[in-house]
Amino acid sequence: MCFLSTRFLSTCIAIGALTLFSFSAMPVAAQQGWIGDTVFVPVRAGAGSGFRILHRGLRTGTAVEIIEFEEGAEWAQIRIGDIEGFVSAQYLLRTPPAAIRLEQLQRQHEQVRQQLTEARQQVTTLTAERNQLSAEARKLSGDLATQSSEVSRLEEVAADPIRLDRANRELNEELSTLRTRLDTVQAENALLRSDNTSSKWMIGALILLGGGLLGWILKSNSSRNRSSWS
């Protein structure tokens, strides 16, 4: 692909200036004028200005397909759409003219600007999402801590029956031991009471026996004394 150049512009300016000068009938101050920067290049049926025109003029910046363009040739064979013909080589460029490149750069600049705007919007959106996720993460951390405390409490509650059952078994064992000791003490007390009663009976019997023996001795001594006095 190639583009038509604006080199014809300088030629048009020169011709326009000469025309204005030749048609100036009165020596008055010349008026300023401008030649438009739009140039139309005709497409001819052959490589020469004498061939018939297939297209009245290609506008500056129009992209065409080069069929044949030899270095140093005055004419180039091109194709545009369904038309195939020749144009003057001086108007044909292999690179886009400055106006086209400027337009392309402007479009690229606009695209970059739009992309930058979209990127900023995305950054704003992502920042908001990040802040929301951070808040949710903090909330979840708090909920997790609360749930952990609740689980610990439930574990303690669940462990209470186990501890109570263990304590009950220990108390029952201690109670059984105490009952055994109580039975032993009661048996020992009963035995001691029995021994004590027997001892009292023996002591009483001994006292009675000793009293009788003492009375007999005293009575015997008294009888002996009366006999000696007689």
In 3D, which of 3, 153, 147 has the Cα closest to residue 65? 3
Q: Which residues share a beta bridge with 86? A: 44, 77
Tell me if 88 is assigned to some domain.
Answer: yes
Domain of 136 in residue numbering reads as 97-161
The pLDDT of residue 31: 46
User: What would the pLDDT profile of 164-179 be if each residue is shown by its tens digit?
Assistant: 777 778 888 888 888 8
C-alpha to C-alpha distance for 58 and 122, rounded to whole angstroms: 44
DSSP 11: H
Same domain, 35 and 66: yes
The pLDDT of residue 170: 83
The pLDDT of residue 35: 35
Tell me if 211 is assigned to some domain.
Answer: no
C-alpha to C-alpha distance for 167 and 161, rounded to whole angstroms: 10
Q: What is the CA radius of gyration of the chain?
A: 69
The pLDDT of residue 112: 92
Q: What is the CATH number of the domain that holds 68?
A: 2.30.30.40
The pLDDT of residue 229: 52
The pLDDT of residue 87: 86
Tell me if 76 is assigned to some domain.
Answer: yes
Tell me if 89 is assigned to some domain.
Answer: yes
Same domain, 89 and 139: no
Tell me if 201 is assigned to some domain.
Answer: no
Same domain, 83 and 108: no
pTM over the 0.75 mark: no
User: What would the pLDDT profile of 18-61 be if each residue is shown by its tens digit?
Assistant: 444 444 444 444 544 443 345 667 777 788 777 888 877 787 77
The pLDDT of residue 223: 63
Domain boundary among 161, 179, 213: 161
Tell me if 16 is assigned to some domain.
Answer: yes
Tell me if 186 is assigned to some domain.
Answer: no
The DSSP H or E segment spanning 213 is helix 98-229
Divide the 230 residues of the chain into consecutive groups of 10 and give the mean pLDDT of each group: 49 46 44 48 78 80 84 85 86 76 85 90 90 87 82 72 77 83 79 67 73 72 59
Count of domains observed in the chain: 2
Same domain, 73 and 120: no
